Amino acid sequence: DAKTTQPNSMESNEEEPVHLPCNHSTISGTDYIHWYRQLPSQGPEYVIHGLTSNVNNRMASLAIAEDRKSSTLILHRATLRDAAVYYCILRGGGSGNTGKLIFGQGTTLQVKP
């Protein structure tokens, strides 16, 4: 399974944008880039995912580098509720791939009021 590298922790001020980086230099052409987050005492929840193009949804934006070896999750205005562990994960999309979702250590985001 292709690996991802994320900073252990980041801090942000409330109502400011947050850019969470992820490196995935061994990504294959059929791997999708997924972001999940885990709020305290809850199960992981889906945030956003993409393959090649940048993606936007109501929660966040995903910026994917042209060579796909890195990506950035963008929270446009952080709130206290966004304090969580954010996981960047590659999920294989090729035929015959089992489609496993393997979690790394993630980035713990602290949001200061």
Q: Which residues bind other proteins (CB under 8 A)?
A: 30-32, 34, 36, 42-46, 49, 51, 87, 90-94, 97-106
Q: How far is the CB of 90 from other proteins (least distance, A)?
A: 8
Distance from C-alpha of 32 to C-alpha of 16, rounded to nearest angstrom: 28
Name the 3-class secondary structure at 56: strand
Which residue, 18 or 89, is less far from other proteins as judged by CB?
A: 89
- Return the CA Rg of the chain: 14
CB 73 to other proteins: min, Å: 15
Considering the complex, state which of residue 103 and residue 110 has its C-beta at the smaller distance from other proteins: 103
- What whole-number distance in Å separates Cα of residue 51 and Cα of residue 33? 6
Nearest distance from residue 48's CB to other proteins, in Å? 9
Positions of E strands within the chain:
9-13, 18-23, 31-38, 45-50, 55-56, 61-64, 70-75, 84-92, 107-112
Nearer to other proteins, 13 or 30 (CB): 30
Q: How far is the CB of 35 from other proteins (least distance, A)?
A: 10
